[in-house]
């Protein structure tokens, strides 16, 4: 059977001569016996080594040896081209004849090689080295009997070539500029010279007579310790044109293998032999872990990758250093630790800046439950961090009563204490992120373990600060003093008359007004009024928070009344109620019950207030008319008016100048600013705070006036912000959740409350179901004029609601600022690349899109717990193909609102 094979080039030799490739084809494709295969491999290997001599310049004028080799290669090509299974012994005979014609000292220097005629890349070098390595391996197989003395040398040299290949691979991957072509050509000549010389000496006959020559040349061929390569390591460290990307991991890893090989060859001391591999291993871990941290931007990842690659190159300089190795290794270690610390802290800083910042009170309870569930569900896979998680659980248990008691107290003057609370909650959010990362495996275990240990240390420091002895009782916020009352002279006279005059029956004087209208300041002004102090035997006060306990309210009133609590402070609400009633019964008392949000709060207290016909009075402040009406005894509730212009100006002056007089040149512009506050004391105080921080010149104040006048909407937003900040944590989350909805759209109350419940915003109430409690939350928001009712059912219940555009804008901005929810809107003309350029870490995502685009977000949303879809048009719906695949990354998903999105199948991963 004849097989016709086309001829191709043999390295830089004659393009018509390539029997090696032809024999390789025969070996691969023909059904040969084992003996025949061995002979073919033998001839192929012999011919390849013989072909190395065609790379050399003629060392004699006639070029007789080159002519003999070319003739032999042509003969072999024709011989096997005619009959692939022909007997090869005649070819072997010609080969042995040519080998004895080769001079013993044929190759002296790199100048002995023929020049390279075409530009070469690192891929060419890698291919050539692979070819050399394979043929050396074949040489050991087919001629092992003839090469017993040089087998170890061949194996050693193959290792050297493989190490060199790793160096070239890294060099080629990181350097791509055209300016480096000459550098490549020089390196190529060096590599070709070393490998060709080794091939020739190993191939020559009469090994005994040339053993000393082979040994000397093979020692020279230990190229990884060649000073020639140091030039290229130095070149790496000074390259101005480099390519560094996330695909260089393999190249960097192989270069570090190369460095370890060089390190062993250069004869390190025992300590150095341990130190350098440990440093290399540290770099390997960092390079391996960096791509595994999903929740950072690619720019940050590439920046850190460049830093690590620079360290890898510096490790190369350390290996080839001719100075003090111990000193160089110490310097390298310092650089590695510095970069490692920077990477950790920068990534942590970036992640924490994207964690939620709201709902702090309710979050700690949820986290404690999550920790328990996590420990039970992942005990086997998290054995290495289980102890740390249990420590965190214990520490948060310690802080829980502290958080609940302090974080919800309003007007807390202890800013240091508030900061400690905030720091604890920030750590709690970090812990939740770490648990999530464990669950979805989007960060390496070693990174998360380091993070956990650092958080534990930081929590312990906070605990130490918290338990330090204080000059005052830091665990209970002191009552705020809102300062001197300004204005409302007529209202004060009316209330004073009702307090000291009128019926001897117990009476409730209710003050009703919006947020920032001055209710609390007005009510508390009577506590120290001389005409009031002498009229009442007991004066006491308490502030009712939205999330109160009856026991805390009773305790607060008793403490304020100075009735001695050491024996009953821990005995429960009923004992406190009985003690309060007995304390008040024989006395004429004045109580201020501030900031009442629900009739239930009044019911919890009113039975403790005895009606002994002594002329006792209660001042109650509330924003809600129904609360004031419910608590009425005799006197009609007082609806606090807005400040008059003169009162507004007087308050602004006092807040800006104190007891000093306002300069004449500022009076006109100051009055204009005060009048624009619409008579709301809190707005006046806010503006005064801004004026107090700028220069007291007419020019600056005029600029402020113009700015305030031009941004009427921003002024209204400030009021929305004030109303928001006065909400309880549970209502803050409910209000911000409106950011998930479209402008000018009615919102179904049943859907809204269902989403609130699914998000765990609604707390369990023994007396009500979750749906009724959610409706109460909504009514509270409506009562504050934050939400508008648009439809009611026949039963009178709210069917649909809407949020004003201005308030919706605030919700969206605040939700994004606090990483509470990210609103993503695009239309048909949006550019997907720009629209999806971020890498969001928000717990909740609300998509407003006419197309199925979630798949583009999928890799970036692994921490999302809620995904909501909103349609721009009432008459259109989106479709989503491959839903199961798209939702594959959303392992933490708890809430999914597809609205009118059509899916091909419901994702089983979350069913």
What single string gives the DSSP state of each residue in 269-337? Answer: -HHHHHHHHHHHHHHHHHHHHGGG--SS-HHHHHHHHHHHHHHHHHHHHHHT--S-HHHHHHHHHHHHH
Q: Provide mean pLDDT across the span 746-764.
A: 88
Q: Provide mean pLDDT across the span 866-892.
A: 68
pLDDT at 3 over 60: no
Name the helix (H) or strand (E) containing 13.
Answer: none
Give Cβ neighbours of residue 174 (< 8 Å, ≥ 6 apart). Answer: 236, 239, 242, 243, 244, 248, 251, 309
pLDDT at 738 over 90: yes
pLDDT band at 867 (very low <50, low <70, confident <90, very high): confident
CA 402 to CA 409: how far, in whole Å?
A: 11
pLDDT band at 366 (very low <50, low <70, confident <90, very high): low
Residue bearing the bigger pLDDT, 342 or 272:
342
Binning the chain into helix, strand and coil, the percentages to the nearest 5 are 60, 5, 35
Which range (309-313, 558-562, 640-644, 718-722) has the least confidence? 718-722
pLDDT the model gives residue 909: 57
Residue bearing the bigger pLDDT, 121 or 433:
433
pLDDT band at 4 (very low <50, low <70, confident <90, very high): very low
pLDDT band at 696 (very low <50, low <70, confident <90, very high): confident
pLDDT at 438 over 80: no
pLDDT the model gives residue 616: 92
pLDDT at 490 over 80: yes
Q: Provide mean pLDDT across the span 3-32.
A: 53
pLDDT band at 755 (very low <50, low <70, confident <90, very high): very high
Helix (H, G, I), strand (E, B) or coil at 168: helix
pLDDT at 828 over 50: no
Residue bearing the bigger pLDDT, 745 or 664:
664
pLDDT band at 546 (very low <50, low <70, confident <90, very high): low
Residue bearing the bigger pLDDT, 615 or 389:
615
- Residue 296, token pair as written in the block: 């950072």
Pairing of strands 638-639, 589-594: unpaired
pLDDT at 820 over 50: yes
CA 232 to CA 209: how far, in whole Å?
A: 37
pLDDT at 607 over 80: yes
pLDDT the model gives residue 228: 62
pLDDT band at 7 (very low <50, low <70, confident <90, very high): very low
Q: Provide mean pLDDT across the span 286-293.
A: 78
- Residue 151, token pair as written in the block: 């087998």
pLDDT the model gives residue 218: 46
Helix (H, G, I), strand (E, B) or coil at 11: coil
Rg value, the chain, Cα: 42
Which range (2-6, 117-121, 703-707) has the least confidence? 2-6
For residues 886 and 906, the answer to whether their CB atoms sit within 8 Å is no
Residue 509 — left, alpha, or beta (φ > 0 → left; ψ -120 to 50 → alpha)?
beta
Nearest residue to 84 via CA among 33, 128, 47: 33
pLDDT the model gives residue 376: 63
Q: Provide mean pLDDT across the span 213-219.
A: 47
pLDDT at 743 over 80: no
pLDDT the model gives residue 5: 31
Calculate the CA dihedral of residues 406, 408, 411, 416 and round it to 10 degrees. 30
pLDDT the model gives residue 892: 76
pLDDT band at 101 (very low <50, low <70, confident <90, very high): low
Which range (246-255, 386-395, 500-509, 823-832) has the least confidence? 823-832
Q: Provide mean pLDDT across the span 601-613.
A: 88
**Chain segment 448-478, per-residue pLDDT in tens:** 888 888 888 888 888 877 766 554 333 333 3
Q: Provide mean pLDDT across the span 803-829.
A: 77
pLDDT band at 209 (very low <50, low <70, confident <90, very high): very low
pLDDT at 619 over 90: yes
pLDDT the model gives residue 509: 92
Q: What is the DSSP letter of 567?
A: T
pLDDT band at 754 (very low <50, low <70, confident <90, very high): very high
pLDDT at 110 over 60: no
For residues 856 and 877, the answer to whether their CB atoms sit within 8 Å is no
pLDDT band at 711 (very low <50, low <70, confident <90, very high): very low
What is the pLDDT of the chain when averaged over all its residues?
A: 73
pLDDT the model gives residue 208: 46
Residue bearing the bigger pLDDT, 302 or 604:
604
């Amino acid at each position: 059977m004849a097989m016709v094979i086309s001829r191709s080039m043999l390295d830089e030799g004659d393009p018509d001569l390539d029997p090696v490739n032809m024999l390789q084809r025969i070996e691969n494709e023909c059904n040969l016996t084992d003996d025949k295969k061995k002979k073919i491999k033998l001839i192929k290997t012999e011919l390849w080594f013989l072909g190395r001599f065609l790379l050399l310049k003629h060392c004699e004028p006639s070029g007789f040896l080159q002519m003999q080799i070319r003739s032999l290669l042509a003969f072999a090509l024709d011989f096997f081209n005619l009959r692939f299974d022909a007997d090869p012994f005649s070819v072997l005979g010609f080969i042995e004849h040519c080998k004895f014609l080769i001079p013993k000292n044929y190759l002296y220097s790199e100048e002995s090689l023929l020049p390279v005629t075409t530009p070469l890349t690192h891929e060419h070098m890698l291919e050539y080295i692979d070819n050399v390595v394979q043929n050396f391996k074949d040489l050991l197989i087919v001629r092992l009997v003839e090469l017993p003395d040089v087998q170890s040398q061949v194996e050693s040299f193959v290792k050297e070539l493989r190490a060199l290949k790793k160096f070239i691979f890294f060099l080629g991957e990181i350097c791509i500029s055209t300016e480096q072509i000459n550098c490549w050509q020089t390196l190529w000549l060096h590599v070709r010279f070393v490998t060709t010389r080794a091939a020739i000496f190993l191939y020559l006959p009469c090994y005994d007579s040339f053993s000393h020559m082979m040994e000397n040349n093979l020692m020279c061929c230990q190229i990884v310790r060649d000073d020639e390569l140091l030039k290229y390591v130095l070149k790496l460290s000074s390259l101005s044109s480099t390519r560094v990307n996330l695909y260089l991991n393999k190249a960097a890893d192989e270069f570090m293998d190369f460095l370890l090989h060089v390190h062993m060859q250069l004869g390190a001391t025992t300590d150095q032999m341990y130190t350098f591999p440990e440093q290399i291993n540290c770099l390997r871990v960092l390079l391996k872990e960096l791509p595994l941290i999903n929740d950072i931007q690619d720019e940050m990842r590439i920046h850190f990758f460049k830093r690590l690659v620079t360290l890898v190159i510096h490790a190369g300089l350390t290996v080839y250093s001719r100075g003090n190795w111990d000193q160089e290794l110490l310097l390298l270690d310092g650089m590695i630790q510095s970069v490692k610390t920077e990477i950790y802290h920068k990534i942590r800083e970036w992640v924490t800046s994207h964690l939620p910042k709201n709902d702090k009170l309710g979050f700690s309870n949820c986290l404690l439950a999550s920790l328990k569930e996590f420990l039970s569900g992942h005990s086997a896979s998290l054995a290495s961090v289980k102890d740390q998680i249990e420590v965190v659980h214990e520490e948060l248990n310690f802080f829980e009563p502290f958080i609940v008691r302090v974080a919800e107290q309003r007007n807390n003057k202890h800013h240091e204490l508030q900061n400690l609370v905030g720091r604890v909650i920030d750590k709690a959010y970090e812990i939740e992120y770490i648990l999530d990362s464990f669950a979805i495996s989007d960060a390496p275990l070693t990174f998360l373990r380091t993070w956990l240990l650092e958080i534990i240390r930081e929590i312990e420091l906070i605990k130490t600060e918290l338990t330090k002895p204080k000059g005052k009782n830091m665990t209970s916020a002191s009552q705020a003093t809102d300062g001197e009352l300004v204005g409302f002279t007529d209202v004060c006279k009316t209330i004073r008359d009702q307090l000291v005059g009128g019926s001897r029956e117990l009476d409730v004087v209710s003050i009703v007004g919006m947020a920032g209208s001055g209710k609390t300041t007005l009510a508390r002004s009577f506590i120290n009024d001389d005409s009031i102090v002498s009229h009442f035997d007991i004066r006491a006060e308490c502030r009712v928070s939205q999330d109160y306990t009856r026991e805390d309210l009773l305790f607060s009133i008793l403490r304020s009344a100075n009735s001695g609590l050491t024996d009953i402070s821990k005995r429960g609400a009923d004992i406190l109620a009985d003690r309060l009633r007995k304390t008040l019964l024989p006395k004429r008392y004045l109580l201020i019950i501030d900031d009442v949000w629900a009739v239930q709060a009044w019911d919890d207290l009113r039975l403790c207030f005895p009606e002994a016909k002594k002329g006792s009075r209660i001042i109650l402040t509330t924003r809600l008319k129904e609360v004031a009406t419910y608590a009425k005894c005799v006197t009609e509730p007082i609806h606090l008016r807005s400040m008059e212009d003169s009162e507004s100006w007087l308050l602004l002056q006092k807040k800006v100048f104190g007891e000093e007089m306002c300069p004449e040149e500022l009076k006109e512009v100051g009055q204009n600013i005060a009048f624009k506050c619409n008579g709301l004391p809190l707005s006046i105080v806010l503006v005064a705070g801004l004026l107090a921080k700028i220069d007291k010149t007419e020019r600056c104040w005029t600029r402020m006036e113009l700015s305030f006048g031009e941004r009427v909407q921003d002024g209204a937003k400030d009021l929305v912000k004030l109303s928001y900040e006065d909400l309880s944590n549970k209502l803050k989350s409910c209000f911000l959740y409106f950011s998930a909805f479209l402008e000018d759209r009615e919102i179904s109350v049943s859907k809204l409350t269902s989403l609130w419940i699914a998000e765990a915003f609604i707390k369990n109430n023994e007396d009500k179901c979750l749906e009724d409690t959610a409706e109460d939350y909504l009514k509270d928001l409506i009562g504050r004029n934050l939400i508008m009712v648009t439809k009611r059912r026949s039963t009178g219940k709210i069917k649909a609601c809407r949020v004003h555009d201005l308030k919706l804008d605030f919700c969206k901005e605040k939700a994004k600022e606090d990483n509470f929810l990210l609103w993503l809107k695009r239309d048909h003309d949006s550019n997907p690349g720009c629209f999806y350029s971020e890498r969001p870490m928000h717990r909740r995502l609300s998509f407003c899109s006419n197309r199925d685009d979630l798949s583009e977000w999928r890799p970036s949303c692994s921490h999302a717990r809620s995904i909501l879809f909103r349609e721009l048009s009432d008459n259109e719906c989106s479709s989503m193909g491959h839903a199961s695949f798209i939702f594959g990354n959303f392992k933490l998903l708890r809430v999914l609102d597809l609205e009118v999105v059509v899916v091909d199948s419901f994702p089983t991963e979350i069913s």
